[in-house]
Amino acid sequence: MKRLAIGLDGYDSNFSGCTTHFTIFLLKTLKFYEKNLKLLTDPLLVRLNPNIPFKTRGNAAVSLLIEGELSEADIEKTIEELSAIYSFENKGSAYILDLDGNRRLEETVKLYLKGLTDLVPQKVAEEVAEEVGGVSIGGKSLVGALAAIGYALSGLPSTFELLAYRAPEAEFIRRIDEKRVSEVLLSYRTLFNNVNRKNKVVAVPRGPDPVLIGIRGIDKGELEDAFRKILPYIEAPSSWCIFRTNQHTDPHAVHKKIGELRVYVSGLIEGYISRDPLVKKGGHVILNISDESGEIEAIFYRETYPMNVVASKLKKGDRIRILGGALDAREREGLIFEAEKLWILSAPEIKVLKNPRCPRCNARMESAGKGKGYRCPKCGYRTKEALEKELFLLKRDLPKNPISPLEGRIRHLVKPPELEGIELPRVELERGEIFCRF
């Protein structure tokens, strides 16, 4: 019996297709061999650095860990045949790796970690592929295919996503009873980021891809139970599968000095606000944040509400932490940092000096002119004495917990507030039930 890892990426286009959907076809086809084939863990859905401009449409790769009497040659032939059938562009990349006796598997984990926060050149992926000694199919998306295997071997935190797929004969518009579906999904405490504040189901894609619905959660049993309950309210799916994934685990939250940032680099920066926020027309907010290594403009787009509103209430001297990515400023030299998540580390009370009160009627006095003392607008009392102003400390109504965009707006990798403080399941080889039906 052989244990093999299969990494897949790039089986989508701007018009159709999806790497997870291709994975379902592959699993279904491999079972026809009937050579004691079994999955060693859930299929893994892996997202990488979202700032890379030439990523695939969904930026999603997949890995499978399997055991059986199949050879690398059997799988290679199957993938090549399916790829030609699945995509008229005949695109996509795969990597097949023997897990037994390979002493360089950690190189795929290193590649995965780098792929979360940086740009990985194709040449680097080719070098890793040669070093670990597997079988490569295609090439354009080799980075994602290798990184997906690296995540499978990483032991890092995970969540789950149940993906259901449309039948080939389905109409263009997805048929879903949003009211009933949202009621079901909101009734489970372990499900998250599926329904927004207006009870709109954000787990339903709007594009031409084959996914009918993608439900996110941290408990496989509850995911399946919720899915079976919504079946009467959605069009009949052709297949479905629960993927273990790095989505919403903050895997790219790696601390970076501002001076270390380069274009496309993701991570956490921390520092002081060097000037009061600039609120742009439409709701975008720009903060200048600096540390001992440099300064950068961080932008909070209006689509990141309520994060942009919180950012607009900050002041010069506040200390904050931001998770995001560095991009070319375009209109000028330098970088901007697109914010995905915000922590307020310190926000001192604001000192306010107010005019003294009238000794007769206690009303707040007003200045009578430079060097002329004060007068009371209520009773007319005047004084030429240099009375001291009163000092007030204004408390600031700012959240203590991390702030991120609302459901449906939060990026794939970002951990939402409801998962903060929860110990997430980790990637591991398991003999439990694999939830895939096709």
Task: Report whether 350 contacts 314 (CB < 8 A).
Answer: no
Average pLDDT over residues 231-248: 96
**H/E/C letters for each residue in 266-319?**
EEEEEEEECCCCEECCCCCEEEEEEECCEEEEEEECHHHCCHHHHHHCCCCCCE
Reply yes or no on whether the pLDDT at 111 is more than 90. Answer: yes
Concatenated DSSP letters for 87-156?
-TT---EEEEEE-SS-TTTHHHHHHHHHHHHS---HHHHHHHHHHHT-EEE-STTHHHHHHHHHHHTT--
Flag the least confident range among 280-294, 378-392, 408-422.
Answer: 378-392
Confidence band, pLDDT 50/70/90 cuts, at residue 68: confident
Flag the least confident range among 23-37, 100-114, 122-136, 199-213.
Answer: 23-37
* pLDDT at residue 431 in the model: 62
Q: How far apart are CA 410 and CA 416, in angstroms?
A: 7
Q: How far does Cα 62 stand from its chain's mean position?
A: 16
- The sheet with strand 382-383 has its strands ordered as 366-367, 374-375, 382-383
Alpha-carbon torsion (179, 185, 189, 195), positive or negative: negative
Share the mean pLDDT of the chain.
91
Give the CA distances from residue 95 to residues 25, 112, 346, in Å, rounded to whole numbers and listed in that order: 17, 14, 47
CB atoms within 10 A of CB 385: 9
* Closest C-alpha to 325, from 115, 119, 50: 50
More confident residue, 232 or 140: 232
The DSSP secondary-structure symbol of 255 reads B
Average pLDDT over residues 294-309: 96
Q: How far does Cα 248 stand from its chain's mean position?
A: 5
- Which pair of structure tokens corresponds to residue 12? 């989508």
Segment holding 225, helix H or strand E: helix 220-230
Quickly tell me which residue has 């892996």 as its tokens: 46
Reply yes or no on whether the pLDDT at 254 is more than 90. Answer: yes
* Closest C-alpha to 129, from 253, 264, 9, 252: 9
Confidence band, pLDDT 50/70/90 cuts, at residue 89: low
Amino acid at the residue 97 = L
Q: Among residues of the chain, what percentage have pLDDT more than 70?
A: 96
* pLDDT at residue 332 in the model: 78
Reply yes or no on whether the pLDDT at 385 is more than 80. Answer: no
Q: How far apart are CA 58 and CA 55, in angstroms?
A: 8
Flag the least confident range among 85-89, 107-111, 189-193, 362-366.
Answer: 85-89
Confidence band, pLDDT 50/70/90 cuts, at residue 173: confident
Task: Look up the pTM and report it.
Answer: 0.89
CB atoms within 10 A of CB 382: 13
- Which pair of structure tokens corresponds to residue 438? 């096709």
Computed on alpha carbons and rounded to an integer, the radius of gyration of the chain in Å comes to: 27
Q: What angle do CA 316, 327, 48 make, to 5 degrees?
A: 115
* Closest C-alpha to 48, from 259, 342, 273, 247: 247
* pLDDT at residue 34 in the model: 64
Average pLDDT over residues 311-324: 96
Q: What angle do CA 237, 238, 239 make, to 5 degrees?
A: 95
Confidence band, pLDDT 50/70/90 cuts, at residue 163: very high
* pLDDT at residue 316 in the model: 94
Average pLDDT over residues 128-156: 93
pLDDT tens digits along 410-429 = 999 999 999 999 999 999 88
Q: How far apart are CA 36 and CA 320, in angstroms?
A: 54
- Which pair of structure tokens corresponds to residue 358? 């009238």
* pLDDT at residue 31 in the model: 78
* Closest C-alpha to 130, from 101, 152, 157, 108: 108
* pLDDT at residue 35 in the model: 66
* pLDDT at residue 13 in the model: 66
Q: How far apart are CA 220 and CA 427, in angstroms?
A: 13
CB atoms within 10 A of CB 305: 14
Confidence band, pLDDT 50/70/90 cuts, at residue 57: low
* pLDDT at residue 413 in the model: 96
Average pLDDT over residues 235-245: 96
* pLDDT at residue 384 in the model: 78
Average pLDDT over residues 337-359: 92
* pLDDT at residue 281 in the model: 87
Q: What's the half-sphere exposure (Cβ side, CA atoms, 13 Å) at 142?
A: 19
Reply yes or no on whether the pLDDT at 90 is more than 80. Answer: no
* pLDDT at residue 433 in the model: 76
Confidence band, pLDDT 50/70/90 cuts, at residue 14: low
Task: Report whether 149 contacts 7 (CB < 8 A).
Answer: yes
Average pLDDT over residues 335-359: 92
Reply yes or no on whether the pLDDT at 58 is more than 70. Answer: no
**H/E/C letters for each residue in 149-196?**
HHHHCCCCECEEEEEEEECCCCCCCCCECHHHHHHHHHCCCCECCCEC
Q: How far apart are CA 305 and CA 283, in angstroms?
A: 9
Flag the least confident range among 56-60, 136-140, 165-169, 299-303.
Answer: 56-60
More confident residue, 431 or 286: 286
The DSSP secondary-structure symbol of 234 reads B
Alpha-carbon torsion (121, 139, 135, 108), positive or negative: positive
**Residue 123, exposed/middle/buried by CB under 10 A (0-12, 13-18, 19+)?**
exposed
